[in-house]
Structure 1
């Protein structure tokens, strides 16, 4: 496939050519009036070529708005691109294709795919892009806007299959747990795919992420169970540290001397009081009835 790179095209200030056009029209009118008055046939013969010149000059004007461009094609050959905004005159025989250089958004539909662990999920993304090479956008792909849509959906599917929806370890990447890393990965993936179309990816982020409806309830219960286990683990670790600290303080300050049985009882009571979900009710020991 022939590789075509964008290049500038020769153009003329449109207001200058407008003056030429007006002068040609004035000359054409003068020739016509003079030919009719004097019945001079040679003057009338000049009238027809001048009319053709006027038509050609008039068909060469273009207006380019900011962040817009015109790709010029002369008899099937790419001649260049006009990027500068303003009023210009170009070769009237060229075909001019408009290519917008403005930033655009592509909001994908919700796609149902399987993540790295095989769980069915729904995912969607927002892609911010723009054309930076008009020649590639026009000549290297059939329809660059449709190409962006298709390749974006393909990249989203590939991304979802390379990462799990969620993980237990916080240091491992996942679709839900590391959004910044996922966004960067999606951007790089899209840029690699769309470079052939002369497109630059400015930003790409996941806009929708959820488990598929058929497993959503089951996965929600699993997440709740994992959260409860993690919370219980933290509570037990804290309770053990507090019991150890209490026993150490009692021993160092000689407040009370406990044998192994009493230590075990105290540890049991403290663990129940610290770990239990309900508020512990204190029991005051006032001694035995019989001494």
Structure 2
């Protein structure tokens, strides 16, 4: 097995981009999900309810964040010391730093509603769910855990199931799903059995070891096309037929790194 691709999302719930190599830190890939968009009242905004967020394409340029979108020229943001605000990030209250009025105006224009950009200046503030992690495990602004792993074999099987669902309903066969719908951190190729990752407990990517702490229960976001931002029924409709338990649908597994290190596209992946 090998590492097929690495994906980084500098701003939570916006578009991501692939990188050839990445530094692994205890709380996730370096530069991953350190920024967040909030509304005028300081509440977290996500593409689950605002798919327009996916039109924002953030990239890192040294210490700066560059925001690109269809509505305005690119904006360069250099985070600095500023007043902090408390934001509820799912089950955690997290102290985040406001990035100022210029990115707020840029994002408000994109979303056609008041919005501000905030930054996690200290990534050690937020613990993972203690039911699945250790007391000192931390996560940036990802939903729950530092990394998400998916496999091409599982996506191929899901595509087959979706085609079967469409045929049963007399619908046109859909195009294969874009893996970006699932917002993985790392994608593994060469897995012989689809969904074999469900049984993994520890893996090594390159020279970095990870704990596989739990499967990933999926929200509505995979039903949003990452290019058109239009919502549909798949893959949730078909996952509910084949991958539903505990009242949820599942695709991918969550990882917690056991050490710092560098991973690169093409690295071997070993189940430990």
TM-score interval, normalised by the smaller of the two chains: under 0.3
Higher percent of residues as helix:
1
**Per chain length, whose mean CA-contact separation is higher, i.e. which structure has more relative contact order (CA < 8 Å, sep 6+)?**
2
Could you state the TM-score of these two structures normalised by the residue count of structure 1?
A: 0.19
Rg (Cα) greater in structure: 1
Higher percent of residues as strand:
2
